[in-house]
Amino acid sequence: MGTLVEANNINIWYEEFGDQEKETILLIMGANANCMQWDQEFIDQLVANGYHVVRFDNRDVGKTTWFGKEPAFNKFLKILPDILLKMIVNSIFGLAVDKNGRFKFSESTPIQYDLSDMAKDAVSLMDVLKIDKAHIIGASMGGMITQIIALDYPERVLSITPIMTSPGIHNEFLSGPTKELLEAIKKSFVYNLKGRVEDGVVEIYRQLTGSRFPFNEQQFREKLKPVISHGNNPFALHGAAVGASPDRTSRLHEIKVPTLVIHGTEDAILPLDHGIAVADGITDSKRMIMEGVGHEIPEELLPEIIKEIIANVKRAS
């Protein structure tokens, strides 16, 4: 049913599955997504392979302590006519991305936390649960946190599986998000202002889904309901945390644990070259490239994904 514990000076909600005496797999979800985004079937298959699995809500989402709150400026935006609102949103996004469509982050912007703080959250949770070492699987921003744990807390890590992630979004040699995704993010922002949170999430995930397994809106909305009811913070500061964290490319060679990098060829937010950069940077890493797959973990490919993950995890023993 899940438990709330104090770790790293915040309250962290977690849930565990399987035999606690077995080796632990720690799951770390991506930006603006709580841990209910980890599919139950994904967890069940890891447990069936003989592992103890822990998923938890990152700070600022789900039932873990929130930091991000709705900006006061939004109250003004909400009362504007649609045409004016769209103009202002366009201008805000004009400031947020550069001429190449990459997100811009100012080093002078005050932040409440960065990815190193979030990595410490995960390790502090392991301390509370008396987990000495774990296999860590991270999706998207969770994959970035996974890299930081492997770099800064190597003694706590058995293996890592970074999924659809990046060595750092400040790397100017790596591709930016697609124009279609940037447009969807603008629409999502407007939906959030109008209180239509579910519609905003649908808009973004429509663009994050690859062509191989086309987006099924009705099915997605059904799966989204328990995720949103678990605790959805449209104003989480995860994007700022990613932007405030340095590029890890030059340090990746320090990671010595078995690594499996999983990435889709049609990822709209962190294109394939981001995943390749992670794999190239980590010595002896394995890679699973999913053709026609976007920024997603398709249930249709779950048997293959689990097989590759278990093979990587076993390289650690």
Residues 6+ apart with CB under 8 A from 88: 77, 80
Q: Could you list the pLDDT tens digit for every one of the 317 residues in the chain?
A: 899 999 999 999 999 999 999 999 999 999 999 999 999 999 999 999 999 999 999 999 999 999 998 777 666 676 667 777 677 766 666 556 666 666 766 666 678 999 999 999 999 999 999 999 999 999 999 999 999 999 999 999 999 999 999 999 888 899 999 999 988 988 888 888 788 889 999 999 999 999 999 999 999 999 999 999 999 998 899 998 998 999 999 999 999 999 999 999 999 999 999 999 999 999 999 999 999 999 999 999 999 999 999 999 999 98
Tell me how far apart the alpha carbons of residues 62 and 148 are, in angstroms, rounded to a whole number.
22
**Tokens 């999706």, residue located:** 139
Q: What is the pLDDT of residue 79?
A: 65
Regarding whether 133 and 57 lie in a shared domain, the answer is yes
Regarding whether 185 and 62 lie in a shared domain, the answer is no
Q: What is the pLDDT of residue 84?
A: 74
Tell me how far apart the alpha carbons of residues 68 and 165 are, in angstroms, rounded to a whole number.
23
Task: Tell if the pTM clears 0.85, that is, is over it.
Answer: yes
Residues 6+ apart with CB under 8 A from 159: 135, 136, 257, 258, 259, 260, 312, 313, 315, 316
For residue 200, tell me if it sits in a domain.
Answer: yes
Regarding whether 60 and 17 lie in a shared domain, the answer is yes
Q: What is the pLDDT of residue 27?
A: 98
For residue 25, tell me if it sits in a domain.
Answer: yes
Q: What is the pLDDT of residue 234?
A: 85
Tell me how far apart the alpha carbons of residues 53 and 44 are, in angstroms, rounded to a whole number.
9
Domain boundary among 231, 255, 274: 231
Tell me how far apart the alpha carbons of residues 109 and 34 are, in angstroms, rounded to a whole number.
25
Q: What is the pLDDT of residue 107?
A: 63
Domain with 54, as residue range(s), is: 3-66+113-176+246-314
Contact between 242 and 31 under an 8 Å Cβ cutoff? The reply is: yes
60: left (phi over 0), alpha (psi -120 to 50) or beta: left
Domain boundary among 163, 196, 231: 231
Regarding whether 187 and 158 lie in a shared domain, the answer is no
CATH number at residue 265: 3.40.50.1820
Torsion over CA of 165, 169, 174 and 175, rounded to 10 degrees?
A: 80
Regarding whether 51 and 119 lie in a shared domain, the answer is yes
Number of domains forming the structure of the chain: 2
Q: What is the pLDDT of residue 82?
A: 72
For residue 238, tell me if it sits in a domain.
Answer: no
For residue 299, tell me if it sits in a domain.
Answer: yes
Convert 241-255 to b/e letters by CB count within 10 Å (16 or more is b): bbbbbeebbebbeeb
Q: What is the pLDDT of residue 92?
A: 65
DSSP structural state of residue 103: B
Contact between 305 and 297 under an 8 Å Cβ cutoff? The reply is: yes
In 3D space, the residue among 252, 13, 49 whose CA is nearest the CA of residue 151 turns out to be: 252
Regarding whether 147 and 275 lie in a shared domain, the answer is yes
Regarding whether 140 and 57 lie in a shared domain, the answer is yes
Regarding whether 150 and 47 lie in a shared domain, the answer is yes
In 3D space, the residue among 182, 145, 152 whose CA is nearest the CA of residue 167 turns out to be: 145
Per-residue H/E/C for 71-93: CCHHHHHHCCCHHHHHHHHHHHH
Q: Are strands 286-290 and 260-264 parallel, antiparallel or unpaired?
A: parallel
For residue 240, tell me if it sits in a domain.
Answer: no
Regarding whether 193 and 45 lie in a shared domain, the answer is no
Regarding whether 219 and 201 lie in a shared domain, the answer is yes
For residue 166, tell me if it sits in a domain.
Answer: yes
Regarding whether 59 and 185 lie in a shared domain, the answer is no
For residue 143, tell me if it sits in a domain.
Answer: yes
Contact between 10 and 121 under an 8 Å Cβ cutoff? The reply is: yes
Tell me how far apart the alpha carbons of residues 69 and 251 are, in angstroms, rounded to a whole number.
34
Regarding whether 220 and 274 lie in a shared domain, the answer is no
Q: What is the pLDDT of residue 89?
A: 67
For residue 86, tell me if it sits in a domain.
Answer: yes
**Tokens 């279609």, residue located:** 180
Tell me how far apart the alpha carbons of residues 251 and 229 are, in angstroms, rounded to a whole number.
39
